[in-house]
Amino acid sequence: MFELLPVDPKTIFLLYFWGIFFTCLLIFSFSFSYANSDNRKILKWFGLGKLILTLAWILALLRNIIPDFISINIANSMIFGACCFETLAMLSLIKAHAKRQFQIQIAITAIAILLFNISTFFYASMNTRVIIGGIGVFAIYLLPTIIYFIEKEKSFFKTFYVLCYTGFEILIVIRIIHRYLHPQDLIISNDTFDSFYSICLFLLTLIGIVGFLLLVKERQDHKIKKLLNDKNQFFSIISHDLRGPLGSSVSLSEILLENIDQYSREEIKEISELLHDSNKNIYKLLENLLEWSKVQTGMITFHPKNILLNALIEENIELNRNVALNKNISILFESDELVETAADKNMISTILRNLLSNAIKFTDKNGEIKVKLIKTNQEVEISITDNGIGVPDAIKEKLFKINGKVLQKGTENELGSGLGLLLCKEFVNTHKGTIWVESEMGKGSSFKFTLPLLLN
């Protein structure tokens, strides 16, 4: 009958050390050679965790050579910290805004470190310290594992990865129960159970690291595919929306050039006004296309500074006042207090400019637009509400999406490509806020977006 022979604890320590060391090299090599800027940050968190873990194992291997405080307290605190860094990387892969989860992970890690150090201060037995350490590691990995399980978007690599960590958690629980029922005065004993546990844990850790890298690659490939689709849609917008106003501009200038002697002063003025409107549409479209291309290529950098939102809103209202007056539309601004927040002034101005322009475009003559600024505990909400024609449900679903073609003319047949709203969404997302629309046909629309008062 096959019998598993016990493995020497020192061999297990060395196995862990070299395994973790080489995975560090693998992670950082992958990060610098293949990963994009977003994934590189996640990989650095993950790699930093493994690097700290490697140093912790070195301190643990030097037991009885260096002071116990360093080889026990510092080493185990570093192990908890390494687990925390790894789970932060795990959470970053599936949640764009995980500030609350990050805070929970850091709090759990701090509690685990505190409890372990208190136990050593009061001379707890080796077995007690092993149990506390196991509970601490289990608690640190629990939340990310649960979040991965309940995540709606499933994939083969994500399922593979979460199963690895589920097995990892189950193994830790089994060992905690075993050490509680069979107390021992060694970190890793020579018995068959500890040998089996250590080998399984080591293999699951290595497989989990490979799963993590594959998950990063899958995420990156998905983003590349999305960028390619967006690029195709981008060129489709250019070819379709630029052709219309350019064609009109060419036709009108041709008519004016060939028949200028036949037209009266009033007719020439009317054609000139049409030509001006056409050129203005071309300019606005090109401006949005340029901004959009800068966003997609990373040429626009995010520079948040403390700004007074009230003043910025009033400034953008004044810039749109003349356009609104052409349709006799009044623009009102309401705010109960002065609101200051850290934001990129140019990005927020672009958002306000586009939303105000849209509100004017889809509001009838003698209409009204209200801009409201409301402050809550953690964020500020800005709404731009008009009493115009409203947005149909079919179009509402396509707003803020590059693959959703929006075809709706303004009250005076003003043209639009929908790129302005795409820019708004990009810039709001950069500020870690949200943007949405509330609308009812014939009763107007309200475009709202939020900004955090404090950026992460």
pLDDT at res. 1: 42
Mean pLDDT of the chain: 79
Q: How far is CA 117 from the centre of its chain?
A: 36
* pLDDT at residue 145 tops 70: yes
pLDDT one-digit tens code per residue, 314-327:
988 887 887 788 78
Maximum CA extent, the chain: 108
pLDDT at res. 409: 62
The answer to whether the beta carbons of residues 117 and 77 sit under 8 Å apart is yes
* pLDDT at residue 361 tops 50: yes
At 173, the pLDDT band (50, 70, 90 cuts) reads very high
pLDDT at res. 399: 78
DSSP code at position 155: -
> What number is the average pLDDT over the span 137-149?
88
The tokens 């360093």 sit on which residue? Answer: 70
Cα separations in angstroms, 119 against 27, 61, 82, 114, 125: 34, 21, 20, 9, 8
DSSP code at position 5: P
Return the higher-pLDDT residue of 77 and 194. 77
Write out the two tokens for 56.
Answer: 């912790």
pLDDT at res. 116: 93
> What number is the average pLDDT over the span 81-110?
85
Q: Which long-range contacts (CB under 8 A, 24 or more apart) does 444-447 make?
A: 444/363, 444/385, 444/386, 444/387, 444/388, 444/389, 444/390, 445/359, 445/362, 445/385, 445/386, 445/388, 445/390, 445/391, 446/383, 446/384, 446/385, 446/386, 447/355, 447/358, 447/359, 447/383, 447/384, 447/385
Return the higher-pLDDT residue of 25 and 292. 25
* pLDDT at residue 2 tops 50: no
pLDDT at res. 162: 81
> What number is the average pLDDT over the span 178-206?
78
Share of the chain above pLDDT 70, in %: 80
pLDDT at res. 381: 92
At 32, the pLDDT band (50, 70, 90 cuts) reads low
Return the higher-pLDDT residue of 406 and 392. 392
* pLDDT at residue 434 tops 80: yes
Cα separations in angstroms, 367 against 305, 355, 453: 35, 16, 32
Highest mean pLDDT among 111-115, 150-154, 337-341: 111-115
Identify the weakest region by mean pLDDT among 263-277, 336-350, 360-374, 431-445.
263-277
At 233, the pLDDT band (50, 70, 90 cuts) reads low
At 148, the pLDDT band (50, 70, 90 cuts) reads confident
* pLDDT at residue 441 tops 80: yes
The answer to whether the beta carbons of residues 420 and 357 sit under 8 Å apart is yes
